[in-house]
Structures are given as C-alpha cells and as structure tokens.
Amino acid sequence: MQFHLNGFRAGDPLVKEAATDVEGAIDNDGLPESVDVLIVGSGPAGLTLAAQLAAFPDISTRLIEAKAGPLALGQADGVACRTMEMFAAFGFAEQIEQEAYWVNEVAFWKPDAQRPEHIERNGIVQDTEDGLSEFPHVILNQARVHDRYLEHMRNSPSRMEVDYSRSVVSVTPSKNDGSAVVEIERTDPDHSGQTERVTARYVVGCDGARSVVRKSIGRVLHGDSANQAWGVMDVLAVSDFPDIRRKSAIQSSSEGNVLIIPREGGYLVRFYVEMDKLTENERVASKKITVEHVIAAAQRIMKPFTLEVKDVVWWSVYEIGQRICDKYDNVFESGPERPLPSIFIAGDACHTHSPKAGQGMNFSMQDTFNLGWKLAAVLRGQAIPELLHTYSEERQVVAQDLIDFDREWAKMFSDRPKDSASGEGVDPKAFQQYFVKKGRFTAGTETHYRPSMIRGADTWQNLAQGFVIGMRLHSAPVIRQADAKPMHLGHVARADGRWRLYAFAGANDLGSGAFSAIQNLCDFLTTASESPLKQYTSKFADIDAVFDCRVIFQQSHCDVAEQDLPLLFRPRKGKFGLIDYEKVFCPDLKSGLDIFDLRNIDREQGCLVVVRPDQHIAHVLPLTAHTELAAFFDAFMIRESDQN
C-alpha cells in the first residue's frame, strides 16, 4: 500500500484525503435534484457498487436505503474465496480473515447401516482444493461485511455515507436524455411522508427480490419453487455431535436433512434444517413454523447425538426457489441500434436461489463489481456508453449457470438417502462426490465471461495457460524486486478503475537492449502515437492513471538491475515527481513457487496479460503484439483528445 506520494500526512493512511468539494456530497438532510448514479439498496450489491464509486469524487453518487439504519444482524454468512480476492482490492480482506470462521473441511453424514434411525459419518473432505486461491472460504455475519464496506466508503475521497429511511416509489426513464427520474418517499420520523425527486444519469436497483426498480422497468423474475420448506437458525448450543465445529451435511433416513455451518467467534452455529414439503402453490408462511419446530426437527435428524439450544440469535424459514430475469437493464431491444441502458438491477433483484450453495451474497457482490468500473469509465469519458451493454450480457449468462447448479445441488440435498430396495433417493457417496466436483463453482472461481468488446479471443491463450481469458486473474506468489518483499501479484491491484498490463518477460530478457521484447514494448507504450497510454491518458495525469503497467522477470530479484529498467517501470509521479519502485517483480524462487510454472507461462516468449479493473483477464498477447493491443482498447475506449 502506497501513500505519502504528494507529501507526508499523519494519521491513518487508509483514510484518503477528502476531495475539496466533498462537503455537499455528505449532507444527508436532503438529496440533490440530480446525480450521476443513484444506488437503491444498501445490501451487499449496493455497498460493493458504492465502495467502488466512492473512489471517484468527480462522480456524484448517492446510496439510498429503505431501512432506518445499518444492518445489525445479517442473513448471509458465507464468503467465497473469489469474494475474498475481491475484498483484497478494497483493502479489507485481512480484517475479514482475522474475524471469520475458516471452512477448511466438510463432513458428510448418512444413516447408520445397522441402525437407520441414527446417523454415522460417511467421510470428511477438504473444502477447497489446494492452490485454488490464496484466500480461504470463510463464514462471517453479513452485517460485519457491511461494516467493512461502510468504513471504506467513509474513508474514501468522496466520504460517502448511506441515506437511510428512503423508499423508492417509482423509476421513470426520461425520453429525452437517457436519464431516469426517481420518486422517493422519506420514512424517518422527522420527515415522514415527505417526497423527493432525483434525476439520475444511471439508476442501479440493488433492492432485493421484491425490487421496485425491477418492477419499474418491466422486468420479471422467471423460475419455479422446489416446494420444500427449510428453517435456518443461528444458535448457541451444547451438543455431543463430533463435527459441531466443522461444516457438516447430514442426511437422515426419514427425518430430513441438516446443513451445519459453524460461525465466527468459536461458539455460534448455524443450522439449515429441512422441514415440511409444500404442496403446489403453497407458501411457507401458511405452515406456521416456529423456532421450536426447527429445533425439534434438528434434534430428530441428528440422533443419536444430542442438541441442547441455549439461545437463538436469529432464525427464519424460507422456501427453495431459483428465479432469474432474462436481462439486467431497461433495454428490451436487440441489435447494434438498440438504445443505451440507464437503469440496471443487481443481486437478488435479478436472481434468487437457495442459500445452501453459499452464493447469494457472493454472486450479488460480483454483479456490481462487474458494473461499477464500467459506470465509472463511461461517466469519466474514458469509454463509450455501449460498454454498459456488457454488464447484462456477462452477468446474466453466468447467473443462469449458478441457477442450474443450485437447482441440482438443492435437489440432491433435499432428497432422501438412496433406498437399496427401490433405488430411489440420492446415494450419500454420490452427494459427497458432487460437492467435490463442484468445488470451484462454490468457491466462486468458475465465472468465465464470453468474448466481447472487453474480452479478447483465445488466439494466444497458449502463452499463459494458467491465466484463462475471461476468468479472474488467479494470483500467484512473487518477490517485489525493489525490497525483496514476498507478496501476491494479484494484491497490487485495487478497486480504482484502472486496467492492469502485466508483462511477463521471456528467457534471458532483463528489460534492456535492442533485442529485449520488454524494452520494445515499453518504447511502444511510451512513445508511439497509437499507444493506449498515449491515447487514453491525460497529459496532466500520472502515466499510470489509466493503465497500471508491471513487469515480471524470470530471474532472481538479485539479478535484475533496477537502474537498467525502462522508465515505464520506475515512473515519476505526483506533484514531487517521486519514483514508483513497486512495478517490478520476480519469481519466489526461494519457496519454489515460481509464477511462470504455476500459471504455465511460455518461458521462451513470455507474454502480456491484460486484466480488467474487476480482476478478470481481458486478453493474453505476445509481447510483440503492439498493434493488436492498441486495436483491443480502441474498440471501446475514448481517446483523451476526444474526451470532454
């Protein structure tokens, strides 16, 4: 983490210097008449988007919430490995790691072969495969995740806060300029019944499964219910169940199934408990299920083990259902002449599924992590507005994959153990194998975007087979050359809207000389008129304001001469023209974890890996593919000379 670029500043370096005109942006007494972005709903999706846009004080953003204040106790709790990687971009992954419960293993239980009314352990498997991510799968109260986002927003240059007690009445797209008019009702005691009208260039509905924003644009959730009621409870309990502090999936012979999720703090445990079947068109509310019913069902399923609930922290009942919108914005037309979107939906507003796959909160945050940088790029004049079409195109497709997985997973979990006589039900062994098979999906690392204006073809994928185009950057250990610091390459990227250009040097290339592909690439990027750095970076900005360029050599950090490197990798920045020494990396040869081997990078040629601001790989190119690099960005970015 770099600070002091523009002068020494005492205090917490995580608290960014406030923008000079930020005071009006934090006046919560009333909303402005117009904003660039209005976010509706301060759940995981809304906060992820707000946290991104808070980095840009030149973009006027407001986040409104119907509730009276921040979430105190959240429903969701699972934080996938991929989401932890995303948290690293916001700078609070380590805080989450320290506080959360780590899911290291999963125990599977089935009916006892000798006494079917009792359960027995069927096996224990590793939760996440080795090397899938540098971060663990963790469990943490959703409210604590919200707290981290809120802190990040308050510490940002925008000093962004949530405007609570505001309910959206309607959202109406403008017929003239593509903006939207939002009617809002205040519900706080001092302003109850008062209305506000805000004109927003873009509206993002993160307002849940009953989204007013979704209804305003005529979108509908499609899908069905599995006709199965489940109870969920966070409890403090005493039990002789041996895996009470291990994630456990329990199948009983006749009483239903239980999923146990240990929680943070060492004592709290969450139970997902199968309850009654629902008839067609029957709703879970009609069953009048109480917490006592949920506890009793768990006790029956877990026999011969005992469960004595001492305190119920939170509980609820729900029905399994998988529903999704066919599109995530207000554009119903197709084709190149279609209108530009101005209203978007994200999270539960456009897709719902069961909580047992642990993807609800995670997938919602990934929605707006995809959208945020695109909105920023368009609003700042860096990218064409057509870029915004890619949000729905990318996220709806991968959400459908999630829906299909969740439907199969929920069905297997709700089925009875296989009956040897009839052959009906699910084999406990097959259930366990399916969990292992889909481990990457539940970890959140399987998202794979299709080719588009911001996702290149697979022509040169062979140059870096471990950096799959369209998937997230799979980080790996490196050594920072300047100070020999061991770190992860992926951790240098922050949620700041910048593109990353990672140049992996070929054999014997130390970054200098006429035959150096690294030197020639840097010459192109810094001097050629068609260079993306020259075309899209303001002459008044630091050279890495839009593109963050880094180099990774194959040699030991001791063998790389910093003084011989191209100036692009030791740029002068800020008002003092200070040198940035953190652009150069080498393999972690001491540990044996060589990034070139780990990610199967062509050692002879090297390659250039282009990474989007949301950590997904946009392209893999030869170091010599200067024309192709320029053409890729020219398809959607706006030249600095053409920016307003």
Q: Strands 485-488 and 477-480: what pairing? A: antiparallel
Q: What's the DSSP call for residue 523?
A: H
The label of the residue with tokens 């020259």 reads 534
Tell me: cis bond preceding 566? Omega within 30 of 0 counts. Answer: no
Closest alpha carbon to 435 in 455, 464, 413, 414? 413
Contact 510, 516 (CB under 8 A): yes
- Helix H, strand E, coil C: the string for 294-312 is HHHHHHHHCCCCCEEEEEE
Phi and psi of 239, rounded to 5°? -150, 150
Bridge partners of residue 452, in order along the sequence: 455
Cβ density class 122-136: b for 16+ within 10 Å, e for less: beeeebbeeebbbbb
119-126 vs 78-79, strand pairing mode? unpaired
Q: List, in order, residues 6 or more apart from 98 with CB less than 8 Å away.
A: none
The residues, ordered by sequence, that sit 6+ positions from 17 with a Cβ below 8 Å of its Cβ are 9, 157
- What letter would DSSP give residue 19? P
Residue 548 CA, chain-centre distance (Å), reads 21
At position 197, the amino acid (one-letter code) is R
Residue 337 CB coordination number (10 Å): 6
Whether 414 and 425 have beta carbons less than 8 Å apart is answered as no
CA angle 108, 112, 113 (to 5 degrees): 120
Would you name the residues annotated as active-site residues? Answer: 77, 263, 272, 355
Sign of CA dihedral 456, 459, 463, 468: positive
Residue whose entry in the numeric block shows the structure tokens 């209305």: 195
Residue in the block written with tokens 């971009």: 89
